[in-house]
Amino acid sequence: MSSFERFTRAYKNAKKLYYDNTSKFIFFSDCHRGDNSFADEFANNRNIYYHALKHYYKEGFSYCEIGDGDELWENLNFQAVFEAHKNIYLLLKKYHDSSRLHMIYGNHDMVYKDPEYVKKNLYTYFEPKNEAESNLLDGLVYQEAIVLEHRNSGQQIFLTHGHQAEFMNYHGWRINRFLVRVLWKPLQVWGIADPTSPAKNHKELIKVEKRIKRWILKNNMLITLTGHTHRPRFPEPGNIPFFNDGSCVHPRSITGIEIEEGQISLIKWQIATKDDGTLQIIRILLEGPQKLSAYAIKKN
């Protein structure tokens, strides 16, 4: 199966969600939440991420994670990841309980494709205070893709991780997981990058982006939002509508995509220093806002 066919299948089988100009979404991907060890790239940004997620929850946003939220290549199981970042999962529970949580799996958390794995690991957690199992993300279903469709105009936004563009990260993910866990994780301490990742392999990154763009061109310029490469993308109206929300493992910052009041924006959250020397977490607008309607296909 070619990358084109993999994207097409993901689109045809995608879960459909409806939105309108009052809807609010925040899209993050590639958090790679780990076990707080030296190899946990997320650990450096966890406070930034937690603060941003609290902000969006209070402001009424829905949270959509576009793959690789959890680092389950380097880590044997979810339990170690949960214990390292318990406060974040309890915040995700609030989104879930208010029907504002939408999760897509990527290559690094492909195990979530299996509903039984999700049920076993994410539905409940053990609470030491009560010495009993408590609800966590009970009933959560991970998707390969989601299609947002505007209630009035019918305009669609295709959401998927983007690993469909690579054979080994899609069909051969178990082999890549083995190599990362056994070989590349120990070498991270020496600064040796994982060549299986397009985020750390520029040639592979370019190939992935070209394949996604070709698919968009052959699918009526469908607005497509992915992660995977860790490289933020925000096209101008009239160009190929290929968006990428970046990642949550940039040095001292995280990037994401917002949709609010019918407009789309690329944003960054980072730590900044006040004049008195104290630190604060701030939101920076990188691109946009642009009206989503500006990306609509004009019919002759």
C-alpha span between 56 and 244 (Å, rounded): 19
Question: Would you say residue 300 lies in a domain?
Answer: no
**52 pLDDT above the threshold of 90:** yes
Question: Would you say residue 101 lies in a domain?
Answer: yes
Q: Are 33 and 81 spatial neighbours (Cβ–Cβ below 8 Å)? A: yes
Question: Would you say residue 159 lies in a domain?
Answer: yes
| b/e sequence 193-227, b meaning 16+ C-beta within 10 Å | ebebbbbebeebbeebbebbbebbeeeebbbbbbb
Q: Are 200 and 193 spatial neighbours (Cβ–Cβ below 8 Å)? A: yes
What local confidence, expressed as pLDDT, does residue 203 receive?
82
pLDDT average, residue stretch 78-84: 95
What local confidence, expressed as pLDDT, does residue 187 receive?
53
Question: Would you say residue 76 lies in a domain?
Answer: yes
What local confidence, expressed as pLDDT, does residue 75 receive?
87
Q: Domain range for residue 54?
A: 3-295
C-alpha span between 41 and 216 (Å, rounded): 31
pTM: 0.91
* Residue 241, domain CATH: 3.60.21.10
**85 pLDDT above the threshold of 60:** yes
pLDDT average, residue stretch 133-146: 96
Question: Would you say residue 64 lies in a domain?
Answer: yes
What local confidence, expressed as pLDDT, does residue 126 receive?
86
Alpha helices for 195-253 (secondary structure H) = 202-217
Quote the distance between the C-alpha of residue 45 and its chain's center: 15
Helix or strand (DSSP H, E) at 46: helix 46-58
From 7-21, 96-110, 122-136, the region with the lowest mean pLDDT = 122-136
Question: Would you say residue 165 lies in a domain?
Answer: yes
**60 pLDDT above the threshold of 80:** yes
How many domains does the chain fold into?
A: 1
Dihedral-angle region of residue 91 (phi above 0 means left; psi in -120 to 50 means alpha; beta otherwise): alpha
What's 71's DSSP letter? -
Contacts of 51 (CB under 8 A, 6+ apart): 269, 281
pLDDT-derived band at 144 (thresholds 50, 70, 90) equals very high
Contacts of 281 (CB under 8 A, 6+ apart): 47, 48, 51, 52, 269, 270, 271, 272
